[in-house]
């Protein structure tokens, strides 16, 4: 039977990122992925010259770990930065038309998007008391601090468009952690932003939005080919058995069963699959995982001749509040965002439908999806002809809904894991859905495992690297933060 330091179940970006941080430090890592290809939800497809994304289309980064990973994987040269035209604007659907969304406090107060009453309510924000509640929904938190208009016109479409969630159910602490932290620390969001600006408090790296040449699959392919990572596709984990100082795991594999012995196991699958795997170890943990709901999302990619679109497409795209659009939550102008997403003289518009707002969309056929998408887009971007390329991607369980008392559920999961040493849960229902958060959380779990005991292979790599650099090497993990999970 093969022995590995760490077995990772699930070859999506969460599993691959954890694998990369561990392998970089010298641990032996095996990744089991049930499908024939790695990447999970992430998949870039070139169709008729248009580069489409099935899930993540870009990384919005402000974390130094992500910068480090991109640099060390050699992906820096494959990065494509957001084009300057797309930086200019984000649009919001308002009274049947696209209106530029104000991005700064001053512009926000002056914007015609809000009524005079809404603006006065916004200005009252610094004088609003904290509710003292840890379990407020996004709707409760935003209405209390900024008023109902900001919720309805800005925050509801943001939660629906970026997280497929429902602002009435989404946990404010889970999905708006930075705004909630500003209230907790300074008593006000506006005051907090101002104080941070005056003190020039910034994150350790600048914010940037990027993708890669060849799309997000480039990141997946690079991580899965890293030396030290043994990726086995077509392997479905079926059983986890605890041993005296490690784990025995069994998968159904293309040529029968595969069983490996591992010191640590990271389960990097969506919550329902994780629940099935841990049920025999801890039923309470399995129940907590089963309680995490998911929302479906359908994506309609439309490739159109530039001349057939009257709108200048001078921004990232638009978000649609539920009062304005029943099924379509947002539309990204991919060819404005990044180069080479559409052939010359063409544009690529990507629409997102469904989510918690309109679960019925999952049952629509292609014709109905196209009708709804074009009916919504036609007047907004002045569409004069039908698309020449259409691609539809469907996710039944696209994103975990960070709904209800989510933080309490996460704390309970962490508490259960304390009793199962060597088992880790690392996927997008824990710590954020974005690729940025996935890469950063992979760093945290790797640190945790590396700090758990002495690893001879890590020591060996450290000695080799020190010798190769004439004794001057700084071992990568020396510079990392203490482990916290
Ligand atoms: C439509 C959409 C748009 C998005 N846009 C963005 C964006 O622009 N920017 C951004 O940062 N994020 C975006 N995201 C979020 C991001 O893409 C996802 O959160 C992330 O890709 C999820 O990665 P994951 O590894 O946690 O899960 P997954 O991708 O679901 O991977 C889990 C893997 O586990 C495997 N698996 C399951 N069970 C088993 C088993 N028993 N044995 C072995 N393998 C198993 C699955 O096959 C899968 O490959 C978007 C998501 C969606 C759906």
- Ligand 1 in reach of 165 Cβ (< 6 A): no
Residue 230 lies in a domain: yes
pLDDT band of residue 125 (cuts 50, 70, 90) is confident
| Ligand 1 centroid to residue 39 C-alpha, Å | 7
Residues 391, 416 share a domain: no
Distance CA 176, CA 159 (A): 10
Whether the predicted pLDDT of 468 surpasses 90: no
- Ligand 1 in reach of 8 Cβ (< 6 A): no
Question: What confidence score (pLDDT) does residue 1 get?
Answer: 84
Distance CA 417, CA 250 (A): 21
Pocket test for ligand 1, best of 10, 17, 223 (most atoms within 8 A of CB): 10
Residues 368, 315 share a domain: yes
pLDDT, mean of residues 439-457: 91
- Ligand 1 in reach of 355 Cβ (< 6 A): no
Residue 10 alpha carbon, nearest atom of ligand 1:
34
Considering 367, 400, 433, which residue would you say is the last residue of a domain?
A: 400
| Ligand 1 centroid to residue 41 C-alpha, Å | 4
Pocket test for ligand 1, best of 158, 251, 435 (most atoms within 8 A of CB): 435
What does 319-382 look like in DSSP terms, one character per residue?
E--TTT-SSEEEEEEHHHHSTTSS-TTEEEEEEEEETTT-GGGGG--HHHHHHHHHHHHHHHHT
Whether the predicted pLDDT of 482 surpasses 50: no
Question: What confidence score (pLDDT) does residue 477 get?
Answer: 40
pLDDT, mean of residues 150-160: 93
Question: What confidence score (pLDDT) does residue 134 get?
Answer: 82
Question: What confidence score (pLDDT) does residue 109 get?
Answer: 76
Is the four-CA dihedral 17, 22, 261, 430 of positive or negative sign?
negative
Residue 435 alpha carbon, nearest atom of ligand 1:
11
Could you tell me which residues come within 8 angstroms of residue 294 by beta carbon, excluding any fewer than 6 positions away?
A: 270, 271, 272, 396, 397, 398, 399, 400, 401
Could you tell me which residues come within 8 angstroms of residue 264 by beta carbon, excluding any fewer than 6 positions away?
A: 5, 6, 7, 246, 247, 422, 423, 424, 449, 452
Residue 14 alpha carbon, nearest atom of ligand 1:
25
Residues 285, 418 share a domain: yes
- Ligand 1 in reach of 56 Cβ (< 6 A): yes
pLDDT band of residue 390 (cuts 50, 70, 90) is very high
| Ligand 1 centroid to residue 262 C-alpha, Å | 24
- Ligand 1 in reach of 347 Cβ (< 6 A): no
**pLDDT exceeding 70 applies to what percent of the chain?**
95
Residue 74 lies in a domain: no
pLDDT, mean of residues 103-118: 81
Residue 285 lies in a domain: yes
For residues 183, 188, 192, 194, the Cα torsion angle rounded to the nearest 10 degrees is 160
Residue 54 lies in a domain: no
pLDDT, mean of residues 359-363: 96
Question: What confidence score (pLDDT) does residue 473 get?
Answer: 45
pLDDT band of residue 475 (cuts 50, 70, 90) is very low
Could you tell me which residues come within 8 angstroms of residue 298 by beta carbon, excluding any fewer than 6 positions away?
A: 352, 353, 354, 361, 362, 364, 369, 392, 393, 394, 395
Question: What confidence score (pLDDT) does residue 133 get?
Answer: 85
Question: What confidence score (pLDDT) does residue 203 get?
Answer: 54
| Ligand 1 centroid to residue 306 C-alpha, Å | 32
Pocket test for ligand 1, best of 394, 433, 439, 445 (most atoms within 8 A of CB): 433
- Ligand 1 in reach of 351 Cβ (< 6 A): no
Question: What confidence score (pLDDT) does residue 200 get?
Answer: 63
First to last CA, the chain: 30
- Ligand 1 in reach of 164 Cβ (< 6 A): no
Considering 146, 173, 198, which residue would you say is the last residue of a domain?
A: 198
pLDDT band of residue 467 (cuts 50, 70, 90) is confident
Residue 73 lies in a domain: no
Whether the predicted pLDDT of 378 surpasses 80: yes
Residues 415, 277 share a domain: yes
Residues 394, 422 share a domain: no
Lookup: tokens for 134: 């840890």
What CATH number does the domain containing 394 carry?
A: 3.90.660.20
Whether the predicted pLDDT of 474 surpasses 60: no
- Ligand 1 in reach of 440 Cβ (< 6 A): no
Pocket test for ligand 1, best of 15, 16, 55, 286 (most atoms within 8 A of CB): 55
pLDDT band of residue 86 (cuts 50, 70, 90) is low
Whether the predicted pLDDT of 130 surpasses 60: yes
Domain that holds residue 304: 79-86+294-400
Distance CA 356, CA 137 (A): 15
To the nearest 10 degrees (0 to 180), the angle between helices 13-24 and 217-224 is 40
Question: What confidence score (pLDDT) does residue 135 get?
Answer: 87
Residues 278, 425 share a domain: yes
Residues 410, 367 share a domain: no
The per-residue pLDDT of the chain, averaged, comes to 91
Residues 381, 305 share a domain: yes
* Alpha-carbon distances, residue 484 vs 189, 278, 281, 358, 480 (angstroms): 27, 22, 23, 37, 11
pLDDT, mean of residues 142-146: 93
Distance CA 188, CA 136 (A): 16
Residue 377 lies in a domain: yes
Residues 366, 284 share a domain: no
pLDDT, mean of residues 408-424: 96
| Ligand 1 centroid to residue 49 C-alpha, Å | 25
What CATH number does the domain containing 113 carry?
A: 1.10.3110.10
Considering 335, 369, 400, which residue would you say is the last residue of a domain?
A: 400
| Ligand 1 centroid to residue 434 C-alpha, Å | 9
- Ligand 1 in reach of 53 Cβ (< 6 A): no
Q: What are phi and psi of 356, to 5 degrees?
A: -65, -25
Residues 410, 282 share a domain: yes
Counted domains in the chain: 3
Whether the predicted pLDDT of 119 surpasses 80: yes
Residue 96 lies in a domain: no
- Ligand 1 in reach of 131 Cβ (< 6 A): no
- Ligand 1 in reach of 353 Cβ (< 6 A): no
Whether the predicted pLDDT of 479 surpasses 60: no
Residues 419, 280 share a domain: yes
Residues 320, 189 share a domain: no
Residue 160 lies in a domain: yes
Distance CA 272, CA 401 (A): 13
pLDDT tens per residue, range 313-359? 999 999 999 999 999 999 999 999 998 999 999 999 999 999 999 99
What CATH number does the domain containing 274 carry?
A: 3.50.50.60
pLDDT tens per residue, range 299-312? 999 999 999 999 99
What does 183-219 look like in DSSP terms, one character per residue?
HHHHS-HHHHHHHHHHTT---SS--EEEEETT-THHH
Question: What confidence score (pLDDT) does residue 401 get?
Answer: 92
């Amino acid at each position: 039977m093969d022995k590995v330091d760490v077995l990772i179940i699930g070859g999506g970006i969460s599993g691959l990122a954890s694998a990369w941080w561990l392998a970089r430090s010298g641990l032996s890592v095996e990744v089991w992925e049930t499908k024939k290809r790695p990447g999970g939800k992430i998949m870039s497809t070139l169709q008729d010259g248009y580069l489409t994304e099935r899930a993540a289309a870009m990384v919005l980064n402000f974390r130094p770990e992500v910068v480090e990973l991109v640099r060390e994987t050699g992906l820096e040269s494959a990065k494509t930065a957001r084009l300057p035209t797309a930086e200019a604007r984000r649009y919001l659907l308002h009274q049947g038309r696209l209106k530029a969304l104000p991005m700064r406090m001053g512009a926000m107060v002056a914007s015609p998007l809000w009524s005079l009453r809404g603006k006065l309510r916004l200005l009252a924000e610094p004088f609003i008391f904290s509710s003292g509640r840890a379990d407020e929904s996004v709707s409760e938190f935003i209405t209390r601090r900024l008023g109902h208009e900001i919720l309805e016109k800005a925050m509801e479409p943001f939660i629906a468009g970026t997280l497929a969630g429902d602002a009435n159910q989404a946990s404010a602490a889970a999905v708006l952690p930075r705004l909630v932290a500003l209230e907790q620390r300074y008593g006000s969001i506006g005051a907090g932003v101002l104080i941070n600006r005056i003190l020039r408090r910034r994150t350790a790296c600048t914010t940037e939005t990027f993708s890669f040449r060849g799309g997000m699959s480039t990141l997946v392919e690079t991580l899965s080919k890293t030396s030290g990572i043994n990726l086995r596709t077509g392997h479905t984990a079926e059983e986890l058995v605890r041993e005296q100082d490690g784990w025995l795991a069994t998968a159904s594999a293309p040529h029968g069963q595969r069983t490996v012995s591992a010191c640590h196991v990271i389960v990097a699958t969506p919550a329902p699959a994780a629940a099935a795997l841990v049920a025999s170890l801890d039923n309470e943990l399995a129940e907590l995982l089963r309680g995490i709901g998911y929302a479906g999302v359908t994506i309609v990619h439309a490739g159109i001749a530039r001349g057939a679109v009257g709108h200048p497409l001078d921004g990232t795209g638009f978000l649609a509040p539920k009062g304005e659009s029943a099924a379509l939550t947002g539309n990204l102008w991919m060819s404005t965002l990044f180069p080479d997403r559409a052939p010359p003289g063409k544009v690529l518009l990507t629409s997102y439908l469904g989510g918690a707002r309109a679960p019925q969309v999952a049952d629509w056929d292609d014709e109905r999806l196209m009708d709804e998408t074009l009916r919504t887009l036609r007047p907004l971007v002045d569409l004069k002809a039908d698309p020449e390329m259409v691609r539809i991607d469907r996710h039944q369980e696209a994103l975990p809904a960070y709904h209800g008392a989510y933080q309490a559920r996460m704390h309970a999961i962490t508490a259960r894991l304390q009793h199962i040493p060597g088992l880790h849960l690392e996927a997008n229902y824990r710590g954020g859905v974005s690729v940025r958060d996935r890469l950063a959380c992979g760093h945290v779990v790797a640190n945790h495992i590396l700090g758990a005991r002495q690893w001879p292979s890590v020591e060996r790599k450290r000695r080799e690297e020190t010798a190769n650099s004439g004794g001057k090497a700084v071992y990568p993990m020396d510079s990392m933060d203490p482990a916290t999970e």
